Structures are given as C-alpha cells and as structure tokens.
Amino acid sequence: MAHSVNDNSIESLISASKALRLSLQKSQGLGSALEKAGNRFEEINHRLPSLEAAVRPIRADKEALAAVGGHINRAVGPAAAVLKVFDAVHGLEKSLLSDPRSDLPGYLSVLKRLQEALRFLGDNCGLAIQWLEDIVEYLEDNAVADERYLSNLKKSLKSLRELQSEKEKANLDGGLLEAALEKLENEFRRLLTENSVPLPMSSPSSLGEQACIAPSPLPVLVIQKLQAIIVRLIANNRLERCKSIYVEVRSSNVRASLQALNLDYLEISIAEFNDVQSIEGYISKWGKHLEFAVKHLFEAEYKLCNDVFERIGLDVWMGCFAKIAAQAGILAFLQFGKTVTESKKDPIKLLKLLDIFASLNKLRLDFNRLFGGPACIEIQNLTRDLIKSVIDGAAEIFWELLLQVQLQKQNPPPQDGSVPKLVSFITDYCNKLLGDDYKPILTQVLIIYRSWKHEKFQEGLLINEVLEIVKAIELNLEAWIKAYEDTSLANLFAMNNHWHLYKHLKGTKLGFLLGDAWLREHEQYKDYYSTVFLRESWGKLPGHLSREGLILFSGGRATARDLVKKRLKTFNEAFDDMYKKQSSWVVADKDLREKTCHLIVQAVVPVYRSYMQNYGPLVEQDASSSKYAKYSVQTLEKMLMSLFQPKPVRYGSFKGRQMSGKFDGVADLRRTTSAIV
C-alpha cells in the first residue's frame, strides 16, 4: 500500500513539473508576444495618420466621391495624349540627327512631322496642365486626397506651367528641332558651295567677243532641293539666315569670277591720280569689264535668284540679288567712274568722260532691268550720281575749251619755233570730237546737259563751237608770230604752223567743215613764210662771197688772196652764227623739214662750191688755210641737211604744268596753262 502511494506522488510531481514547464513556456511566449505587440503598436501609432488619410475618401462626402472619377478621367486623357506625342518626338531623334544629304526628301518629311508634333505639344500641353490643375483643386476643395500628395502635385504642375512660357517652349523637344534646322542650313550651304563654280576666264582680253548671256549656273535638281529647304526654313522663321547664306556663297562666287580680270585698278583713289592720262588704259578696260560683269555675271545671278526664291516673293529674291551685286563688285565699278570725274580737269579728260558715258549708256537697259527695283536703291543712287558727274564734267570742259584756248594767247610762243602743243593737240582733239566715235556721244551729253538747264540744243552749236576754237587758234598764231624778236624765227614758226594746219586738217572732218579755201590759204601762207624765211636768213649768206675785185690781173695775186680770205672769214662767221642759232630750231614735220633744208642747200651750197673752185686755191696753199677754207662743200651740205631736227619731248594734252585748276576763275586758268604752247 505504501508502494502504491509513492507511485502516485511521483506521477503527481511529474505532472506538476510538466504543467509548470508548460506554463513557463506559455509565459515566455506571452512575453515575446507582448514584446512584439508593443513594437507593432508603436508602428501602428506611426502609421495612423497615413491610414487615416487613406480612409479619408471613405469618410468623404458621397457626392464628391461620385464626381471625382469623371474629373480624373478628363484630366488623364489629354495628359496621356501629350505623353504619347512626347514619345513620338523621341522616336524621331535618330532620323533628324543623321545627314540630310543621303535622303533630303525623307529628312524634310521627318522634320515636318517633328514640327507638327511640337505644334501639338505647344497647343495641348497647356490644356493638359489646366485639366490637371482643375482636378487637384477639386481634390483639395473636397478633402478627397492627402495634403502632402496634393502639395507634391502642385509643385510638379508649377514646373510644367513654367515650361509652357514662350521662352521655354523651344525646349519641348530638348533642342532636337534646333539641331535639325542647323543641319538643314548646312545642307543648304553645301548644295550652293559645291555647285557654285566661278565662270572660266580663258581669255580676258576677248571679253567683247563673248556676246552670249551666261545660263543659270545651278542644275535644276539642285535648285529644286534649295527651294524645298527654303520652304522648311521659312516655316521655322529662318528666312533671313537662309538669305544670308545664299548671298555669302553666291557673291563670293562672282568675286572669284572677276578676280581673273585683275581689277585692282578699281581701288585707285583720287590721291593716286597723277592725271587722267595715267589711267587712260584702265578706263578702256573698265568699260569692257563692266559690260562683261553686267551681261554675264550679274545677269546670271539675277536669273538664279529668281529661280531659287521665286516662290517666296519678288522682294526676297530682288533683295538677295541687290546684296550679291553690291558685295561682288558693282559698287567698286561705279566708284571708279566717280573717281575719274573727281580728278583734275584736263581737256583729254573730256574724251575719257565720254568713254565712260558711252559704256553706261550701252548698258542702260540692262541697268534698268537688273538694278531698277527698290532693293537696289544704293546702286541706283551711285549710278545716277556718276552719270550726272560725267555729263556735268564733260559739258563744262567742252564749253570752256574755247576760253582755255583764248587764254593761251598771252603766253610766249615756243623758243624753237615749233608747233605749240596747244595747236597740235587742238587739231587732233577737235577731229576726235567730230568723229563718228565721239560726236554722237558728245551731242547726247550736251542735249541732256542743256535740258537740265531748260535750254534747247541744236547740233549746229557743237559745230560752231569747234569752229570758234579753230579761229581762236588762228588768232593765237598771229599774236605769237608778232611776239618773236627774231624775224627769221617768227617766219619759221609761221611756216611750221600754217603747214601743220593744212596737212593735219586736210581730208578730216574738221577740214571738211573749214573748207578747201581755208586749207589752201594756209598752204599758201606756208609757202609765203618759207620764202621769206629763206630770203631773210640763209639767202643772205651768198652775198658774203662776192667776186668783186677778184680779177687776178687787176690787183695782183696777193691782193686777191687777201680779199678771198676776208670774204671767206666773213662768210664763215655769218654761217657759224646762223647755224648755231638755228640748230636749236625745230621743224617737226619730216617732209617740210627736208624740203626747207634742200632749199637752204640750193641757196648756199652751189654758190659756195663755185667760189671755192675758183678762189679756194688762193688760200689752200696758205699756212693758215684752215681758218678760211673751214668747210668742205660736203661738210657744209651735211650740216645744212641736219638742221631743224626735233628734240625728244614728252607730249601731253593740255598739260605742260598740269591743268590743275577746276575752271573756277581766270586766275587759276592762267596759272595752269603756261607751258601748253
């Protein structure tokens, strides 16, 4: 029985132990659970505000909750469309950053799509933002959403609204459009540059023979590409940039064409002018070069500008052409002509001014057609100024030419008895003015000049003025003949000048106007003064070789020798004096000089030869014979035939001491004309 009790006690202890252990485990688990629960309670405590906000819509007004769905749908629709277009823009990036030359039509098509997308974005971004702002405002007013969430939405919408400003709209594509347009401009430049080739100048000297007008210098396909690019650039407000590129490339091309002509002379300044004659050759070149530039180069540019920009409008392509013409050199051509008009007045300048007028008049229709538009106003003004200066200058020189000739009368005649430069110049000059080359031009100039002064012009005025100039020359000659102290020199001078008038005017336009009687009169004057000159100078020499008293048997040989010595000495002294004096005299005309020398030889040499043959032996045996038989017949003849040779001189027009006056007054005129004769 005791054994039974012990067994029961042990089992009770074991059970109690198990129960205690189980309780302990439960306590530990409960403690752990409590610890975890504490952490969860703390977490829940932190999450309660957000949970409260999350369940706020549930507590919101039922009508507000019912309307919020529609608001959200209306706002999300436009926003989703905008986002879709943004994705499309991004998809165009690869194509637009490629080289347009490989597929220009495709490139332009893609660029057009980009513009359409950007236009959509520009029109609809603001609408999408407005809808989103409306829904945020609704959520806020109806306390349907969390305040912090709404605050973040407001910040995002504010940033989007700022991007919608005009200043930032260009950034909608991240700069893709700008990059594409720059590539298109580069392609525009490339097409122009690679197809703009300077006109070949194989023979600049034969410019006058190139009568054809140069064709359009760009292939049709290239022009079509340029036109397509222009349309797209205009759509992006880049017309001015496009025009700038075109003018730069094409004006450079024209300048390159002109470089072969060596136009450095166009840059000559008024300070570099010595006189008009120093640039006379340039004036001739100027006319040919200007005609070539207008009829070939500028004509081609005019046509090309029209071809490339015709769809844009007249003002655009005429503006481009005007800039090309100005930058390529037309202004330099006109300025050169203006510089010539501003140079010192000189009658030879009249011919050069007429040359300039003839060149401009020949191109008058071309100038009016090419440069007649409003865009070419600078070219028009400079052209008008040049024409006015040319006409004024030419007319003034012509009408004052008579006064210039008359003013020469007071100057001394040439010391060598030659033809004054004034006489030789005027005879040639007046013939040129009356010739077929200059008379029509001068007539036209004078008609215009007098019309500006409301005066009529008759062709007889031109002829009469020239005849008056010739009469003034005759009066000058009369005064100059009387001005010589040495009558022999005066006679030689008269002979020279009357022969010059006869010989150089016979068979000419001026000679025809003066008439045969006038010409014969001057020929007769030449003969008269030649006879008087010979009689009054060399004709007196034979008188020193008198035979009187030389009959050997009357006074003896010694007496005869003394007389021969005396007479030969007198002859030699007279010959030496006359030869020395007349050696500096000049007869420029070869025929007149030879004839005059022959007459002198005929007057002197035969008498000298006969005298020396008869009486020379009387003195040749004398120890001092060389003092008396000083010249052989051959030497004497050779010396006489060498007379009156012209000296090397620099001939000019109305020059001498340069005619530097501006025809402002008599004092200036007198000061500038002293060396003309």
| Shared-domain flag, residues 145 and 256 | no
Q: How far apart are the first and last CA of the chain?
A: 186
Predicted pLDDT of residue 104:
81
Say if 585 falls within a structural domain. yes
Encoded amino acid at 531, one letter: T
Whole-angstrom distance, CA of residue 450 vs CA of residue 454: 6
Q: What is the mean pLDDT of residues 379-394?
A: 96
Could you report the per-residue pLDDT of 269-297, keeping only the tens digit for each? 777 766 666 777 888 899 999 999 999 99
Residue 71 reports pLDDT greater than 90:
no
Whether 639 has a pLDDT exceeding 80, the answer reads yes
Decide which of 142, 174, 206 is a domain's last residue.
174
Per residue in 616-635, pLDDT (tens digit) is 888 776 666 677 888 899 99
Instruction: Report how far residue 385's alpha carbon sits from residue 73's, in angstroms, rounded to the nearest whole number.
Output: 75
At 660 the pLDDT is: 35
Residue 78 has pLDDT above 80, yes or no: no
Helix, coil or strand: residue 649: coil
**Does the pLDDT of residue 120 top 90, yes or no?**
no
Q: What is the pLDDT of residue 83?
A: 46
| Mean pLDDT to the nearest integer, 395-407 | 94
Q: Is the pLDDT of residue 162 over 90?
A: no
pLDDT higher than threshold 90 for residue 528: yes
CATH code for position 593:
1.20.1280.170
Residue 525 domain-assigned (yes or no): no
Whole-angstrom distance, CA of residue 437 vs CA of residue 670: 31
Q: Across the chain, what does the average pLDDT equal? A: 78
Domain check: are 221 and 162 in the same one? Answer: no
Number of domains making up the chain:
3
**The pLDDT of residue 441:** 95
Q: Residues of the chain with pLDDT > 90: what percent?
A: 48
Kindly tell me if the per-residue pLDDT of 402 is higher than 50: yes
- Which pLDDT value is given to residue 145? 56
Residues 224 and 115 occupy one common structural domain:
no
pLDDT at 545: 87
- Band (pLDDT 50/70/90 cuts) for residue 302 is very high
Q: Tokens at residue 179, please?
A: 């990059």
Q: What is the pLDDT of residue 136?
A: 57
Name the more confident of 36 and 170: 36
Q: What is the CATH number of the domain that holds 142?
A: 1.10.132
Residue 181: predicted pLDDT: 81
Query: What is the rounded distance in angstroms from the CA atom of residue 230 to the CA atom of residue 223?
Result: 10
Q: In terms of domains, do 191 and 134 share one? A: no
222 is a domain residue: yes
Percent of the chain clearing pLDDT 70 (strictly above): 66
What's the rounded mean pLDDT across residues 72-77? 54
Instruction: Kindly tell me if the per-residue pLDDT of 125 is higher than 70.
Output: no
Closest of 218, 228, 219 to residue 105, by C-alpha: 228
Rounded to an integer, the average pLDDT of 321-328 is 94
Mean pLDDT for the stretch of residues 298-322: 92
- Same domain as 141, residue 189: no
Same domain, residue pair 336 and 393: yes
Judge whether residue 64 has pLDDT over 70.
no
| Residue that finishes a domain, picked among 404, 428, 454 | 404
Considering the domain boundaries, does residue 68 fall inside one? yes
pTM score, whole prediction: 0.71
State residue 180's pLDDT score. Answer: 78
Beta-carbon count within 10 A of 362 CB? 15
Q: Residue 295 in contact with residue 213, Cβ under 8 Å?
A: yes
Residue 537's pLDDT band, with cuts at 50, 70 and 90, is very high
Q: What is the mean pLDDT of residues 436-465?
A: 91
Q: Band the pLDDT of 236: cuts 50, 70, 90.
A: confident
10 SS3 class: helix
186 and 335: one domain? yes
Same domain for 225 and 170, yes or no, is: no
Q: What is the mean pLDDT of residues 523-549?
A: 92
> Does residue 656 form part of some domain?
no
Same-domain status, 193 and 292: yes
pLDDT at position 513, please? Answer: 93
How far is the C-alpha of 388 from the C-alpha of 394, rounded, in Å?
10
Alpha carbons within 13 angstroms on the beta-carbon side of residue 621 total 7
Model pLDDT, residue 201: 61
- Rounded Cα distance between 327 and 258, Å, is 12
Torsion of CA 380, 384, 390, 393, to 10 degrees: -150
In a domain, 194, yes or no: yes
CA–CA distance, 12 with 22 (Å, rounded to integer): 15
Q: Is the pLDDT of residue 59 over 50?
A: no
- Contact yes or no for 564/550 (Cβ under 8 A): yes
The single-letter code of the amino acid at 670 is R
The answer to whether the beta carbons of residues 405 and 462 sit under 8 Å apart is no
pLDDT tops 70 at residue 358: yes
Q: Is the pLDDT of residue 77 over 60?
A: no
- Containing structural domain, residue 332: 179-198+216-404
Q: What is the C-alpha to C-alpha distance for residues 122 and 546, in angstroms, rounded to an integer?
A: 127
Is position 574 within any domain? yes
Please give the single-letter amino acid code of residue 22.
Answer: L
Residue 428: is its pLDDT beyond 60? Answer: yes
Q: Return d(Cα 432, Cα 427) in angstroms, integer.
A: 9
Are residues 489 and 480 in contact, defined by beta-carbon separation less than 8 angstroms? no
pLDDT at position 504: 94
Let me know whether 300 and 372 are in one domain. Answer: yes
Residue 118: the pLDDT is: 54
What's the confidence (pLDDT) of residue 97?
A: 59
3-state secondary structure of 415: coil
Q: Which of 462-476, 481-495, 621-635 has the lowest mean pLDDT?
A: 621-635
Looking at the structure, tell me whether residues 133 and 157 fall in a common domain: yes
pLDDT at 354: 96
Q: How confident is the model at residue 426 (pLDDT cuts 50, 70, 90)?
A: very high
- Does residue 669 have a pLDDT over 50? no
| Residues whose CB is less than 8 angstroms from the CB of residue 461 and which lie 6 or more positions away in sequence, other chains included | 446
Q: Which two tokens stand for residue 53?
A: 């906000």
Closest CA to 414 of 489, 321, 350: 489
Q: Which of 377, 404, 431 is the last residue of a domain?
A: 404
- The token duo for 354 is 């007429």
Q: Are residues 119 and 159 in the same domain?
A: yes
